[in-house]
Amino acid sequence: MFPRYTSFKVDIKNLKFKSESGIVYPKTAIILFDVPGKNQPVMELLGYIEDESVYRWIDEAAPIILDYCYIPRFSLSDYRASRGLSPKEKINLKGFSARHSFFDSQVVVDFSDSMIKDGSFSLAHTWFNRGSISFNSSRFENTLLDFSYLRFSDDSFDFQNVTVVHADVIFKNAIFGRGVKDFQYSRFGGRELNFINTEFNDGPVNFINVHFESENTSFKVARFGDGKVDFHYAKFKTRNLSFERTEFGNGRVDFRTVEFGTGKVNFNRASFGDGDVSFESSEKEAGKFSFKRVRFGRGTLSFEMAVYDKIDVSFERTEFGPGTISFYRAGFNALSFRFCHLDEYTDLRVAHCRQIDLSNTVVRDIIDLQPYEFELDVEQTVFAGMRLVGKIYLDWKQNHVQSMIAGQEYSGNRLKAEQFRLLKENFKNLGQYSDEDKSYVAFKRHELKAELEDSVKRRKINALWHYPFYLFKLILFDRAGLYATSPLRVLLTMLIAFVFFSLFYMVLMVYTPADIVPTVDDLLSPAAKAFYHSAITFLTIGYGDHYPYGSIRWVSAFEGFAGLFLMAYFTVAFVRKILR
């Protein structure tokens, strides 16, 4: 690679030059580079050959070998003009190599409408000082395109409408300039498309409508500048697509309407700048899609209307910036945000998703799960371990919260109880008191089951007394009044208890010596006596005009306690409703 320089001078000498690959060129180019920090210029010796000699190689269908050469001009457009060919006529090249060379063109370095089949093309370790580069509408078949370690000028790089068939394309460690990098409407087909550690620099990078059909496509550790990075309408039919550790600049990153195919897609540890990032209306049919440990900047992140119906997408331990996050009307199989910090508004109103995993997240703003224009089809949402500083907007009925948490396959009753408790506090803060009550009941039910499971798990013999105790609390606290959340439920329980004791008294009076004895002349039927005695006992009135005899005494004592308890229970539930 040539030294970094501020300026240079070129002197062409009529001396033969023998390159390191053994090729002899008729002239020698002496280049003196002015290098910062050095008092004397750095000298490089390269070969030099006239344009017409290169054009004769094309006429003779010979490979063009310009390794270790100084190349002030190369243009297939000039070649066509010199041979009287039409401007768009395809030029067949048997091969082209300009490795370790130095281009210094004042016009476009033009490879447009060229075609190489069964040959090779290499610009590895070459330096473009100036001049745009065009491969527009070229075709490469059964070959290798090697741009590794190439340093481009700040002018444009045109790779539009290029067709690559059964050919590997290597841009590994290449350095682009600040001009436009345009790959629009190209098609890459081969075993490998390699942009590993490529420096794209500032300026737009366009992959609009590109068909990626290589088995492996990698942008691993690539670095984009502050220009827009546009993959709009691109189609990936690659087995492995990697953006691992890729650094995107502050420009907009656009993956809208991209088709990601069925291969593995990896954005792990990638870093995005402050520009907006959009995957809006993108699609993926199958395979894996991972954003683990990614860093997003201040721009918005949008997956609105994305179609990933059969795909699990993971943002585990991803660092989101201050921009909003939207998955509005998108579809996923599973969506994971485990161990993430969600500090800004996050729109999770997806069209459908089997599971949204928000476990161990820290939420400081709003998570929006509440349907407005359409019904959300989300089977499960996991809130286990969430630290909720902000708010979660959702509705108990519309979001099917009961089944959304209770149906979690891998969460035990303890974790489910914790999630219902969290939502209970969330609904309270939102003023959704009816939903708060439902969450509280679900929390207490799963907590009760968890306590039973834990005690039996410690010692199986504990089941002898824990199961009866569990049933007692289930009936008394849950079924009787829904944990003091429903006054009407307590009233209904009181009515059922009153009728039960009344009928029980009637049975005792018919089949046992027990009786309800009046102290005054009062001709009540046995049924009337039973219901009257039950009422004054249950309500603890005790007029003294009737008293129990025999076994009814013990039943009456129990009924009196039940009445006191249920009246107190009703008072608590009623006051709780009124005070809110």
Residue 179, class by beta-carbon neighbours within 10 Å (0-12 exposed, 13-18 middle, 19+ buried)?
buried
pLDDT in tens, 449-507: 998 888 888 777 777 777 888 898 888 888 899 999 999 999 999 999 999 999 999 99
Q: What is the pLDDT of residue 205?
A: 97
**Euclidean distance between the first and final Cα of the chain, in Å?**
76
**Radius of gyration over every alpha carbon of the chain, rounded to an integer in angstroms:** 40
Q: Tell me how far apart the alpha carbons of residues 362 and 318 are, in angstroms, rounded to a whole number.
A: 12
pLDDT at 516 over 90: no
The helix/strand/coil state of 369 is: coil
Which residue matches tokens 């490795």?
99
Q: Tell me how far apart the alpha carbons of residues 429 and 528 are, in angstroms, rounded to a whole number.
A: 50
Residue 250, class by beta-carbon neighbours within 10 Å (0-12 exposed, 13-18 middle, 19+ buried)?
middle
What is the arithmetic mean of pLDDT over 263-290? 95
Domain boundaries, the chain: 411-471, 487-579
Relative to beta strand 7-13, strand 27-34 is: antiparallel
The helix/strand/coil state of 394 is: coil
Q: Tell me how far apart the alpha carbons of residues 3 and 22 are, in angstroms, rounded to a whole number.
A: 24
Enter the DSSP assignment of 396. Answer: T
pLDDT in tens, 185-232: 999 998 999 999 999 999 999 999 999 999 999 999 999 999 999 999
Q: Tell me how far apart the alpha carbons of residues 468 and 472 are, in angstroms, rounded to a whole number.
A: 6
Please count the CA atoms within 13 angstroms of the CA of 426 that sit on its side-chain side: 28
| pTM to 2 decimal places | 0.87
Q: What is the pLDDT of residue 1?
A: 64
Domain 487-579, CATH class in plain words: mainly alpha
pLDDT at 246 over 80: yes
Closest-CA residue to 230 (of 160, 169, 175, 174): 160
The helix/strand/coil state of 194 is: strand
Q: What is the dihedral of CA 515, 519, 524, 525, to 10 degrees?
A: 10
pLDDT in tens, 393-406: 999 999 999 999 99
Helix residue ranges per DSSP H, 319-432: 401-406, 413-430
